[in-house]
Amino acid sequence: MFYTKTNNMKSALKYTALIFIAFPLGALALTLPNPLEQMGITSVPGLLDSIINFVVIYIVPPVVTIFILVGAFKILTAGGNTTQFEEGKKTITYTIVGAAVVLLASGLIKVIENFLRAAAN
């Protein structure tokens, strides 16, 4: 079939009318509940705060525990090998430093939030 400029214009008008008529009617018929509001999260800062709390409470402690155990295993199985003993010490040291950085960062975020809330009031 040979398309002309007018046929293309007619089909474009049909699809444009479909978009402007059908989609608003569909939006009126369908409303989805916000699952974040059911959890008490109503803003982006609240969402970020929730994510940070989840990471600090549920992700960091198991990871820290695993890496401390790995470092302790390296130390216990060194058997006189000084390089493996030093690797175990470094693993434990870096794990503790990383956990401290995560905890200080989350605390700093709370301090900044409180400071900005006080400045806004």
pLDDT at site 45: 81
Q: Which long-range contacts (CB under 8 A, 24 or more apart) does 55-61 make?
A: 55/102, 56/102, 56/103, 56/106, 60/99, 60/102, 60/103
Arithmetic mean of pLDDT over the chain: 85
pLDDT at site 55: 93
pLDDT at site 26: 57
List the domain boundaries for the chain.
Answer: 1-31, 38-120
Residues 53, 35: contact at Cβ < 8 Å? no
| Reported confidence tier of residue 39, pLDDT bands at 50, 70, 90 | confident
pLDDT in tens, 57-102: 999 999 999 999 999 999 999 999 999 999 999 999 999 999 999 9
Instruction: Read off the pTM.
Output: 0.66
| Reported confidence tier of residue 14, pLDDT bands at 50, 70, 90 | confident
Name which residue leads in pLDDT, 116 or 97.
Answer: 97
